[in-house]
Amino acid sequence: MRLNLLISFLTCLVFAQAATLPKDEKVRYDNHVVYKINYSNALQRELILKLVERHQSFSLWSETATELDLMVSPNAIEEFKKQLSIANTTAEIFIPNVQALIDTETVANTRAAESFGWTRYNTLAEIEEWLDEIFIIYPAVTEEIIIGQSYEGRTIRGIKISYKEGNPGVFIESNIHAREWITSATATWFINELLSSDDELIREIAENYDWYIVPVLNVDGFTYTHEKDRLWRKTRQPISTSSCIGTDPNRNFDVHWMENGGASSNPCAEDYAGPNPYSEPEIKAMSDYLNSVSSKVNVLLAFHSYSQLLLSPYGHTPDEFPDNYNDLLQVAKAYADAVEALPYGTVYRYGSAASVLYTASGATNDYAYQQGIEIAYTVEMRDRGAFGFVLPPAFIIPNAEETLVGIIALLSECEKLGYLALK
Ligand code: 0X9
Ligand code: ZN
Ligand code: ZN
C-alpha cells in the first residue's frame, strides 16, 4: 500500500463514525448505557463534562443543577467508572441499552399505519400529509404559513389558526432539536384539539387566540433522525473548517450569541453555536418570520424534551433576570400546578433557563423576549430520563394532554396579569 493511501486510510478510520456511514445503514447504539449522575459541586460537573468534550464515546443527554444524564458507549464504561470514582460521585443506570429502546420504537412505528392516531411517531412526510388534510378540512380558520427553506432545501411549514379578527397571538415552535420527537407529536395533537374538540375550555382558547404553530422547525435534522441517526440533535449544514456536521439551532439566534460560555465554538460539540448568528438558514428564516408577526404575538412557547421544566429568560446569565420575572414565575407555576393536578401527577419545575438548567445563549425564547414577546418559555416535556429522547409512543397522548391543560392555565394566568391585550 502506498504511503499516502495508507495515511488516507488511517484518516478514514479516525473519522469513520462521523463521515463514512454506509448508505441505508443507521447508526446503532447497541449496549450504550444512559447513566444519571448526581453531582453536588462544580468540580464534579467539570470532570464529567471534560469527558464529553474529549471523547466521542460520551454524549450528554441532559443536565440540570444537580443531575447529569450521560450516554456511554460500551467500550468506555470502564473509563467512565474510573472517572466517577475520581470525581467522588456515583451514578445510576437509567437506560441499560439505548438500541433496545430504539428498536421497540421502530417496531411500534411499522405496525398498522392506519391513521395519524398519535399512537406512534410520524415522519416529516406523514406530518406534512396530515397538515395538508387539515388545511382542506378547515379552510375557513386555517392558513398555511411558510417559514422558509432549510439547508437541504426542504420547506419549513406551519399553520396559523384564527377564528376571528383581533385575537392576541400565541406562537409555538417545535422540534428545533431533531431527536425531540415528542414535541412534534404533541404539537400536531394540539393542533387537532384546537380544531376538532368540543370541550368548552379548548374551544375558548382555540377561538380567542391566533395560533402560529410550527410542528417541525429543524426539518433536515428531523429527517436525519428517522433515516440515519435517531439521536441527532443539530442542523445538517456542514462546517467548512471541520469534518463535523451541524449547528445547535437553539444557540444560533442573535441574542447574547456565544456569551458567558452559553454555547460551544467547537463544531463537533452538540451545543455548537455556528460560525456566526443566523449561519443556519432555518434559524435565519425563523427569526425573520417571528419578526414579521411579533407585533401580534403575546406568548411564545418553544417545545423541547426532556426534563419537565418551564424555562423563562434569561438563558445567557444566571445572575440577571427579566423585569417581569415574578410574572414569568407566576405564569409558569400556573402551568406546573395544572399539569400536576391531572391524574398522571407529573411534576414540572420552573425558573429562568440559566438558573434552573445551565447557561445557554442564542435560544428561541430569549430571542422572542428580546423582540418584545414578554411571555416566552422553553417547555421541556416528559420525561425525567427513564426514556429520555426515546420516549415510547404510549406517552404521546398523556404528554400532549398535560401540555394542553398547562397551556390553558398559562393563558388564563397571562390574562389575569394583563399580558393578553391586543398589541
Ligand atoms: O439546551 C437547550 O437548548 C434546551 N435543552 S435541550 O435539552 N432540549 O437541548 C434548553 C434551552 C433553555 N432555554 C434557554 N436557554 N433560553
Ligand atoms: Zn449581551
Ligand atoms: Zn431541545
**pLDDT tens-digit series, residues 313-344:** 999 999 999 999 999 999 999 999 999 999 99
The per-residue pLDDT for 106 is 79
* Residue 55 burial (C-beta neighbours within 10 Å; 0-12, 13-18, 19+): middle
The per-residue pLDDT for 109 is 66
Residue of 253, 378, 382, 383 to test ligand 1 pocket, by largest number of atoms within 8 Å of CB: 378
What number does the ligand 1 atom closest to the CA of 364 have? 16
Instruction: Compute and round to an integer the Cα radius of gyration of the chain.
Output: 21
CB of 249 shorter than 6 A to ligand 1: no
The per-residue pLDDT for 3 is 40
Rounded to whole angstroms, the maximal C-alpha distance in the chain is 75
Instruction: Give the residue among 262, 234, 233 at the shortest CA–CA distance from 247.
Output: 234
CB of 36 shorter than 6 A to ligand 1: no
Q: Which amino acid is at 267?
A: P
Instruction: Give the residue among 379, 359, 175 at the shortest CA–CA distance from 264.
Output: 359
Residue 403 Cα to chain centre, angstroms: 14
The catalytic position among 180, 193, 380, 413 is 380
Q: Which residues of the chain have pLDDT under 70?
A: 1-21, 107-114
Q: How many angstroms separate the CA atoms of 422 and 297, rounded?
A: 9
Nearest CA to ligand 1 atom 14: 315
The per-residue pLDDT for 316 is 98
Q: Which residues keep their CB under 5 angstroms from ion ligand 3?
A: 177, 304
How many helices (H) and strands (E) the chain has is answered by 14, 12
Q: How many angstroms separate the CA atoms of 30 and 25, rounded?
A: 14
Strand duo 67-72 + 155-161: pairing: unpaired
The secondary structure of the chain in percent helix, strand, coil, rounded to multiples of 5, reads 40, 20, 40
Residue of 311, 359, 366, 381 to test ligand 1 pocket, by largest number of atoms within 8 Å of CB: 311
Instruction: Give the residue among 119, 190, 253 at the shortest CA–CA distance from 410.
Output: 190
Say whether 172 sits in a helix, a strand or coil: strand
- The C-alpha cell that represents 77 in the structure block: 464504561
Backbone angles phi, psi at 194, to 5 degrees: -55, -40
Backbone angles phi, psi at 100, to 5 degrees: -60, -40
Cis bond leading into 335, ω under 30°?
A: no
Q: Which residue has the cell 462546517?
A: 239
Strand duo 349-352 + 309-312: pairing: parallel
CA of 259 to the centre of ligand 2 (A): 7
CB 369 within 8 A of CB 322: yes
Strand duo 375-381 + 309-312: pairing: antiparallel
Nearest CA to ligand 1 atom 3: 250
DSSP letter string, 360-420? --S-HHHHHHHTT-SEEEEEEES-SSSSTTS--GGGHHHHHHHHHHHHHHHHHHHHHTT--
CB 304 within 8 A of CB 259: no
The per-residue pLDDT for 371 is 98
Where helices occur in 197-324 by DSSP H, the ranges are 200-208, 219-227, 281-293
CB of 304 shorter than 6 A to ligand 1: yes
pTM passes above 0.85: yes
- Catalytic residue at 402? no
Instruction: Give the residue among 176, 28, 177 at the shortest CA–CA distance from 106.
Output: 28
pLDDT, tens only, 364-393:
999 999 999 999 999 999 999 999 999 999
- The C-alpha cell that represents 155 in the structure block: 420547506
CA of 305 to the centre of ligand 3 (A): 6
